[in-house]
Amino acid sequence: MQNTKPHAALLSSPGLGHFIPVIELGKRLVTNHGFSVTVFVVTTDNSLSKSQLLKQSPCPDLLNIVLLPPVDVSGLINPTTGILAQLAIMMREALPKLRSAILAMKFCPTVLIVDLFGIEAMVIADELNMLKYAFITSTAWFLALTLHVPTIDKVIEDNHVKNQQALVIPGCKSLEFGDTFGPILDRNDQMYTEYKRMGVDMQKFDGILVNTWQDLEGTTLGSLEDEKKLGRVAQVPIYPVGPLVRAVKPGPKSEMLEWLDMQPIESVIYVSFGSGGTLSAKQTTELACGLESSGQRFIWVVRPPIENDSAATVFKTNHGTDDTPDFLPDGFLTRTREIGLVVPMWAPQTEILRHPSVGGFVSHCGWNSTLESIVNGVPMIAWPLYAEQGMNAAMLTEDIGVAIRSKSFPAKELVVREEIETMVRTIMDEGDARRARVRTLKSSAEKALSKAGSSYNSLAQVANDCESAFKYLKAKAQG
């Protein structure tokens, strides 16, 4: 690595939802700001799809990806340990490996940028005199919740948890109980303690980057500035740098994309629940029947329902009369052969969403999927499953107006086939207002990221601060 420009170390926790935007942030620092970047990735055993993605995603020369050796946390977690706590524990266990890797570098990086779960790594930045930034791979609204949790925890307990009232996040949109973020519901759970600590620690950093942009969440970003003036949030600079979404690498076309080439413009609805989302058996049946009766063309990334197979990543071997997996209605594949593709487990999502034949997305509202939909001008049916997806769904439907959702949310009841059929028809209607709105946002996203756009400038400010620190430290070292 060169030593004429700042070198940034980025840390990604396990999970594609963090890895993808962290890599994209690294690419921007290299391409637009001349940095060299090392992305450290904490791995678990099942990092296969990650390495597949590494191959797919073009990386500039000055971006180096280091997979830290897998951490073994089997003795530290039990079946009741929630995912947020598991991630925090994995990241904690990986710290010695990260420290050794940074110490082994020829030049110490100027800055350490970590995602939400890597916040404890900042002891290393303190020790090595590096600048400290967090990168929130979600919304400004979620950031606002995270920063406020330490001071509103009594309100959370009394109003939100006990009485199931909407949670007032000071200066921001309130959070309905049905859309809530699970880890804030139980103060006695380790997830709550970990999450609260993240909210406290982040406020001492040099800055917080967030994967959003001014036109998308201007009101919330403005509220956060007001909250700082009121002293309810620390004076930590907040930089909206998004939307950072995975770039598509040019290459040979898959069969799926060839099939899409043959479909009319905006005629296909894409159905996928992220890297890990799974539905119940009953819900899978309702979704299949709803899709079929809508008569709409579709691509559906299907996983076996969770009750029937706890190893949700493996297809069951039983099949119906026409090779339809037995968790789908018998004969489904035959009846939908002309209009639909059922894809087991995984599909090239960014390639699909950018295809002109795709006109709608049934999404679990993971933030990366949401951004990928918006930057391709695709309206959504919001189908949140876990983490902060309920918040994302509420924002997309009520505030931003690019999605619809079932009346069964947020009550989390079964979404019946008739309602699915209606939602599919609604979102695929070319005159639907949400289509026009998402197209406007697509343009505003492009503008934000282009030279002198709001997100470009935001990251340039971070880059300038790193450059100043780099020059200062270099001059100091040279005496």
What are the residues binding ligand UDP (CB under 6 A)? Answer: 15-17, 20, 246, 272, 274-276, 301, 346-347, 349-350, 366-369, 372
DSSP codes of every residue in 120-149: GGHHHHHHTT-EEEEEESS-HHHHHHHHHH
State whether residue 114 is helix, strand or coil.
Answer: strand
Q: For residue 26, which of 284, 241, 265, 348 has the smallest C-alpha distance?
A: 241
Buried b (16+ CB within 10 A) or exposed e, 322-342: eebbebbbeebbeebeebbbb
CB under 8 A, 24+ apart: contacts of 188-196:
189/82, 189/85, 190/81, 190/82, 190/85, 191/82, 191/84, 191/85, 194/84, 194/85, 194/88, 195/84, 195/146, 195/149, 196/149, 196/150, 196/153
Instruction: Determine the residue type at 58.
Output: P
Taking the complex as a whole, the smallest distance from the CB of residue 102 to ligand UDP amounts, in Å, to: 26
Given the structure tokens 């500035």, which residue do they identify? 225
Taking the complex as a whole, the smallest distance from the CB of residue 387 to ligand UDP amounts, in Å, to: 7
Alpha helix (H) residue ranges in 410-453: 417-428, 433-449
Instruction: Determine the residue type at 78.
Output: N
Cis peptide before 243 (omega within 30 of 0): yes
Taking the complex as a whole, the smallest distance from the CB of residue 34 to ligand UDP amounts, in Å, to: 27
Q: Rounded to 5 degrees, what angle do the CA atoms 345, 302, 23 make?
A: 45
Closer residue to ligand UDP (CB): 111 or 375: 375
Taking the complex as a whole, the smallest distance from the CB of residue 67 to ligand UDP amounts, in Å, to: 18
Closer residue to ligand UDP (CB): 122 or 302: 302
Q: Which of 18, 160, 355, 364 is catalytic?
A: 18
Closer residue to ligand UDP (CB): 289 or 375: 375
Closer residue to ligand UDP (CB): 343 or 436: 343
Residues 6 or more apart in contact with residue 337 via CB below 8 angstroms: none
115 given a catalytic annotation: yes
Taking the complex as a whole, the smallest distance from the CB of residue 170 to ligand UDP amounts, in Å, to: 27
CA–CA gap between residue 81 and residue 190 (Å, rounded): 8
Q: Which residues, listed in sequence order, are joined to residue 378 by a DSSP beta bridge?
A: none
Q: For residue 282, which of 300, 305, 301, 299 has the smallest C-alpha distance?
A: 305
Closer residue to ligand UDP (CB): 240 or 243: 243
Taking the complex as a whole, the smallest distance from the CB of residue 385 to ligand UDP amounts, in Å, to: 8
Q: Which of 115, 179, 189, 206 is catalytic?
A: 115
Closer residue to ligand UDP (CB): 139 or 275: 275
Phi-psi group of 412: left, alpha or beta (phi > 0 → left; psi -120 to 50 → alpha; rest → beta) = left
Taking the complex as a whole, the smallest distance from the CB of residue 13 to ligand UDP amounts, in Å, to: 11
Residues 6 or more apart in contact with residue 124 via CB below 8 angstroms: 95, 98, 99, 102, 112, 130
Taking the complex as a whole, the smallest distance from the CB of residue 433 to ligand UDP amounts, in Å, to: 24
State whether residue 7 is helix, strand or coil.
Answer: strand
Closer residue to ligand UDP (CB): 324 or 368: 368
Q: Rounded to 5 degrees, what angle do the CA atoms 420, 395, 344 make?
A: 45
Taking the complex as a whole, the smallest distance from the CB of residue 5 to ligand UDP amounts, in Å, to: 29
Closer residue to ligand UDP (CB): 247 or 473: 247
CA–CA gap between residue 359 and residue 430 (Å, rounded): 8
Alpha helix (H) residue ranges in 358-405: 367-375, 389-394
CA–CA gap between residue 102 and residue 109 (Å, rounded): 8
Closer residue to ligand UDP (CB): 21 or 240: 21
Q: What is the dihedral of CA 202, 207, 213, 219, to 10 degrees?
A: 70
Residues labelled catalytic: 18, 115
